[in-house]
Structure 1
Amino acid sequence: MNTQSNKQSCIHKIREIKLEVLYIDKDYDVLKEIGSGDYGKVILAVHRDTGSEVALKAVPKATTPIKDFLMEFHYSYFLSPQKNILDTYDVAFETQEHYYFAQEVAPFGDLWQAVERTNGVGLNERDVKIVVEQISSALEFMHDKELVHRDVRAENVLIYSPNLTKVKLTDFGLTRKVGTLVKKRVKSLPSCPPEVWEAVLLEGYNIQVGSDVWQLAMMIYVCLTTHFPWEKADITDPKFTEFVQWSKRKTTRTPKEFRGFSPRFLRLVRRLMDLKPTKRYPVTEINKYLRDRWLIQRSPRASSVHRSSSQSELNGGRVSRSHSCGQILQHRGDQRSNS
C-alpha cells in the first residue's frame, strides 16, 4: 500500500508517536518568525541535512496537551493529499518548551491579508469565486471522511498563486470527527454559527458539518465586504436578529447588511446559513451559483489580487495551533489525489 493510500485509510486512527527531542538550532537554520497567535508561532527554517525550506509550526507545551498536538499533526498530515489542503510532512519533534511539526511554505500569505489590502473595498467577485470553489472542494474532501474543520475563515486560507488560482486550507487544530462532543470555547468568533453561540459555556455540544458550511458562507461575505454582518450570531445582536426574521420568512425585507447582494446570492445564503445546522446544504451547493452575479453593483475600485511574493507574507503571518523530527521527508505534493 502506498503512502497516499495509507493516509486515506488511517484518517480516524490517531497515531501515538514518541517525539524526538531536538535542539532546533542544531538541526535547522532558523530564518525568521513568520506568524504568531494565541496558540503558538510559525517559523521559516531550512533543514540543514536536506536543504529543505519549511514552515515549522510550534505550540507551547505549557498550554497544549500532547494529545491535542498529536491530533492536529495527525489530521494535518493525513488530509494533505487533497490538492487544496496545505501539505504537511511526516515530521514532528519537541524541544524543551514547544511541540513542532513541519509544513510546506506558502509564498503569498493568507486570504485575509489580501482582503486587508483592498482598504475596505473587498475582493473582486471573480477572485472570491475562484477561492471558494477550491475551499469547498477541500471541505467536501473532509466531510466525506466525516471530519469537520470548525475554523473556516480567510486567515486559514493560504495563497500559492498571485491570481488566487491556487489556494489551500490550513489549521486543523480544531478538526474533529462528526458527532464528537466538545466544550464551548471561552471566546467565540463572529464567524461561528448560532448553535455554537447558543451552547452554554464549558458545556458540551455535538459537532456537525453544518458548522463548516455556515463559516464558509461567512468567509464569502467577509471577502466581498471586508467586515462581518454582525458581532455574534446571537439574538442579543440586533443585526443578527434582523437576519433571523428574514431567514424565518417573518419579513420580506432584506437585512440591511445583505442589501448589496443579488437575489441569487441571497438564495445561496438561505441554503448555506439555515438556522438549523442539519438543514444546511452541503458545501458543494456553492458550485451551482458560481456563474451567477453575487453583487448588485461593485465599486470600480474593487480589488483583483495580483501581487508578487514577499517573505513577510509566508504562511500567512498568523497561526492558531501546531509541530516535526530531525529529518524532512520527501515532498509528496505531486502524489496528491482528490479521491
Structure 2
Amino acid sequence: MIELGLTDGSLIDELMELTAQSLSCLEIQEHFNIIEEIGKGKYGKVLFVTHRFRGTPMALKVMPKVSTKLQGFLREYCISLHLSCHPCIVGIIGIAFQSEEHYCFAQELINGKDLFAVIQPKVGIPETSVKRCVLQIASALEFVHSQGLVHRDVKPENILLLDHHCYQVKLADFGLAQKRGSLIQFVTGTLPYMAPELCTVALLEGQKEVTAPPLSVEPSLDTWAFGVVIFCLLTGYFPWEHCMDSDDFYIEFADWCRKEERSYAEQDIPALWRRFSTDAMEMFGKFFDLDAEKRCLVGEVKVYSGKSWLKMLHSDE
C-alpha cells in the first residue's frame, strides 16, 4: 500500500487517469447474472450479481451516466480501491467498466444489513455492541485519514454488518470522499451528521447562493459525524436535526459546551443527554468541540471504550 500523504496527494489523480484510459465498455447482462437489487439511493443502485463465466458472486455498484459525472465515478472507485485493503473497509474487486447508460464497479458481497436497519427506535442497540462497532469504524476512519482523505458521509447506513450481532462491521460508500484540504463551495440541505462549520455552507431551500467562504475538508468533519453515530446507536434517535441556530436541541447542547467549566450534574446537562455517564459526556464534549481545530481525532474513542457510557445499561445480548 502506497501511503497517500499531503505531499503525495496526486496518487488518486494518477489512479483516476489510468483507470479512465483502461475503462472497458461492457453491457451488464452480457457478463453478469443479476440475482437481485440489494441497495438503492440517489447515486443509483447496488446489484447482487455473479460473473457469467466464472460464477464469482459480487456486489455491483451501478451509477446512471445521466446523473453521474465520469470524474466523480473515477474518484469514488479509485479511493475505494486504494483503501479497501483495510479489514474494516468494504473490499473492492478491481472491476470497473461503463455500459451504454451506466458506470459500474464491483465490490465484495456483504449479505448482512446496514447498521441503521438494526437500531431500535428510541432504544438503540446494546452498549457492548455499540463499542464493538465504533472501535472498528474508528480504525477504518483512522486509516482513511492517514491516507490524506476524508470520508464525509459517516452514518449508520454506510456501515455494513457481516453478522446479526455487530461483531464485524465495514465502512462503505466513498462517493463523497475527498482529499484533505479540498474546498467545499456549498452543500445542498442539512443532515444531523453535518458539523456546524459544514452547515454554514449549506444551501437551504429558497436560497440561491451561500455567503460563507469555502470550507476546507478536514478529518474533524468525520469526527463530528462519528460522534452523532455513537449517540444514535446508544439512544435510537438523533441529538438534533441540524447544527444551526434554528435547532433548539443543538443550541442547548452548544450552550453547555461553551461553558468554561462544564457541570456534569444531571440538572445542568441538556435533557437528551442525561442518560450518559460522566465519562461519555466528556467523550462527547471532545467529539463535538465547536472549534473544529480543537476537535479530537476519531481514535480518541479508544480511551473511553473500557468505561461505561450509559448510566442505566440496556440489556445485553
TM-score scaled by structure 2? 0.89
1:111 partnered with 2:115? yes
- Percent identical pairs in the alignment equals 35
Contact 1:7 / 1:79 at 8 angstroms: preserved in 2? Answer: no
CA distance in 2, matches of 1:24, 1:272: 43
> Counterpart of 1:279 in 2: which secondary structure?
coil
In the TM superposition, what are the counterparts of 1:1-339 in structure 2 within 5 Å? 4-5=1-2, 10-11=11-12, 13-16=14-17, 17-18=20-21, 19-115=23-119, 118-199=120-201, 201=203, 203=210, 204-249=214-259, 252=263, 253-300=268-315, 304=317
Q: CA deviation at 1:162?
A: 2.9
Paired AA for residue 254 in structure 1:
I
- Consecutive unaligned residues of structure 1, counting only runs of 5 or more, are 305-339
CA distance in 1, matches of 2:51, 2:121: 38
CA distance in 1, matches of 2:121, 2:151: 29
> Counterpart of 1:30 in 2: which secondary structure?
strand
Contact 1:31 / 1:43 at 8 angstroms: preserved in 2? Answer: yes
CA distance in 1, matches of 2:282, 2:162: 31
Q: CA deviation at 1:276?
A: 1.2
Paired AA for residue 164 in structure 2:
P
Q: CA deviation at 1:210?
A: 0.3
Q: CA deviation at 1:89?
A: 1.5
CA distance in 2, matches of 1:231, 1:14: 38
CA distance in 1, matches of 2:199, 2:256: 19
> Counterpart of 1:35 in 2: which secondary structure?
strand
Deviations 1:3-26 (A, max 9, x none): x45999845634222421111111
Q: CA deviation at 1:150?
A: 0.5
Q: CA deviation at 1:187?
A: 2.2
Paired AA for residue 256 in structure 1:
A
CA distance in 2, matches of 1:7, 1:170: 19
CA distance in 2, matches of 1:188, 1:179: 21
Count of paired positions: 297
CA distance in 1, matches of 2:146, 2:270: 33
Question: Compared with structure 1, are the counterparts of its residues 266 and 12 closer, same or farther at alpha carbon in structure 2 (3 Å cutoff)?
Answer: farther
CA distance in 1, matches of 2:98, 2:190: 30
Corresponding residue for 2:206?
A: none
Contact 1:246 / 1:254 at 8 angstroms: preserved in 2? Answer: yes
Pick 1 or 2: higher relative contact order, CA cutoff 8 A, min separation 6: 1
CA distance in 2, matches of 1:182, 1:199: 8
